[in-house]
């Protein structure tokens, strides 16, 4: 009996050691993955930093704005109303209107849900998003982190440039999914790009937004569309 008891104790020790090794390995793998994630993110931060990308400051349609590249100087623009109290830079209005006209000919009825925003309006939207996540039980730090995946930090929003729009369906003749599909396949023909694709979040810093479109001009938009890249990648390539 004593010999059997010792064998059982040895077996239990081996099992404990085995589980400890598994736990240590698991922690090591998680830590390694987090380090890799941070390294990738830091690489993108360096690659797409304002000092290396915004060589196109004179080209108003290609100025890069994201969480790492704030708006350096307020844009000089004349605003044009596009309906429902929304405004855009008048320079993109003809292309936006042409895109909407052609969509309607195909039975698709888009509207501009959000156009130009002042920094004050962006701040309000940002604060509301943080409050919404805190109401779900997240800490202030967690809520801010989640909010920044969906709402740009004030001073880093393309809406403040006047050349980005959130496009939705009219809710009567079209559904959102129909509008998003048509835009994804056709917006580049009018100089617009889907700014935050689903497979580029690590680069753009923003979760997928099938409604957010940014004007870059037909030539650039077509290149970005054909190569399946985002604006950060395009500008980085052009600046090499």
Catalytic residues: 209
What are the distances in angstroms from CA 156 to CA 69, 71, 72, 153? 7, 6, 9, 5
Contact (CB, 8 A) for 108 and 174: yes
Strand partners, 168: 111
- Compute the distance between CA of residue 189 and CA of residue 95 in angstroms, rounded to an integer: 9
Take residue 117 and report the two structure tokens written for it: 């925003």
Nearest alpha carbon to residue 176 among 221, 126, 113: 113
| Residues in Cβ contact with 194 at an 8 Å cutoff, skipping those fewer than 6 apart | 183, 184, 187, 209, 210, 212, 213
- H or E segment and range at residue 210: strand 209-215
Backbone angles phi, psi at 87, to 5 degrees: -130, 155
Distance CA 43, CA 37 (A): 10
Strand partners, 83: 86
Look up residue 135 and give its two tokens: 């109401």
Q: Are 167 and 215 in contact (CB under 8 A)?
A: no
Beta-strand relationship, 79-83 and 110-114 = unpaired
């Amino acid at each position: 009996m004593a010999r059997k008891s010792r064998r059982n104790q040895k077996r239990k020790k081996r099992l404990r050691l085995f589980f400890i090794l598994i736990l240590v390995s698991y922690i090591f793998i998680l830590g390694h993955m987090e380090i890799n994630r941070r390294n990738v993110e830091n690489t993108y931060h360096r690659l797409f930093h304002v000092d290396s990308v915004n060589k196109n400051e004179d080209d108003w349609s290609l100025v890069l704005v994201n969480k790492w590249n704030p708006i350096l100087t307020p844009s000089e623009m004349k605003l044009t109303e596009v309906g429902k109290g929304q405004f855009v830079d008048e320079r993109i209005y003809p292309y936006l209107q042409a895109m909407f006209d052609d969509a309607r000919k195909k039975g698709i009825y888009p509207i501009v849900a959000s156009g130009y925003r002042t920094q004050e309006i962006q701040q309000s939207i940002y604060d509301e998003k943080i409050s919404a996540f805190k109401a779900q039980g997240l800490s202030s730090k967690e809520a801010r982190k989640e909010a920044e995946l969906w709402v740009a930090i004030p001073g880093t929003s393309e809406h403040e440039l006047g050349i980005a729009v959130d496009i939705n369906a009219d809710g009567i003749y079209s559904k959102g999914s129909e509008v998003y599909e048509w835009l994804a396949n056709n917006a580049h023909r009018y100089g617009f790009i889907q700014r935050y694709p689903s497979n580029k979040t690590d680069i753009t810093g923003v979760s997928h937004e099938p409604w957010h479109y940014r004007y870059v001009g037909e030539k650039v938009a077509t290149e970005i569309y054909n190569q399946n890249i985002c604006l950060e990648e395009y500008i980085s390539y052009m600046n090499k």
